[in-house]
Amino acid sequence: MIKLKKMSKKEYKRFIEKSIKRYAKEEIKSGFWRKEEALKESKARYKRNLGKGFKESKYDFYNIHNEKDEKIGYLWLMKEHTLLFVAEIYIRKKYRHLGYGRALLEKVEKIAKKQKYKKIGLTVSIHNKIAQALYTQSGFNAISELRIKKI
């Protein structure tokens, strides 16, 4: 149903630019950042956390393709000791709710098993109820929760 293809350096640069913007929007929506500071903060976080980025051996960046070989999204995996961490999943809007997210999680699990990881981790925003339901149905359990009080 889906195929993963490693990103080229050019595709990676485009992905990161879009990812920085998506992350800023998510943090605004979550109430963590003000709109006027979000893009600057997002760029700073990506710069700090990516290290060598595309050349960093602990990261894998993929384009997600469907059965028609259309590029439907992106996947960023991080290798952390015994944990394969899903840093980012993005499915383009017109391809959502078609089973690709579930198929992608199954593909990630196969990758994790093949590479001898013991666990798969990810994070999800509290307002993303659809992703939360998918992750729960796919066997992911919440292990922590951040709570905030507006004052």
Res. 135: pLDDT tops 80? yes
Number of domains in the chain: 1
Instruction: Return the closest-CA partner of residue 60 out of 124, 15, 119.
Output: 15
Domain that holds residue 117: 2-137
- The verdict on residue 13 lying in a domain is yes
* 32, 39, 125 from 28: Cα distances, Å: 6, 10, 11
Residue 64 and residue 48: Cα distance in Å, rounded? 26
- The verdict on residue 143 lying in a domain is no
Res. 32: pLDDT tops 90? no
- pTM comes to 0.87
- The verdict on residue 145 lying in a domain is no
pLDDT score, position 6: 96
- CATH number where 66 lies: 3.40.630.30
- The verdict on residue 30 lying in a domain is yes
pLDDT in tens, 42-58: 999 998 888 777 777 88
- The verdict on residue 65 lying in a domain is yes
Segment 5-12 shows an average pLDDT of: 94
pLDDT in tens, 73-124: 999 999 998 999 999 999 999 999 999 999 999 999 999 999 999 999 999 9
- The verdict on residue 89 lying in a domain is yes
- The verdict on residue 146 lying in a domain is no
- The verdict on residue 8 lying in a domain is yes
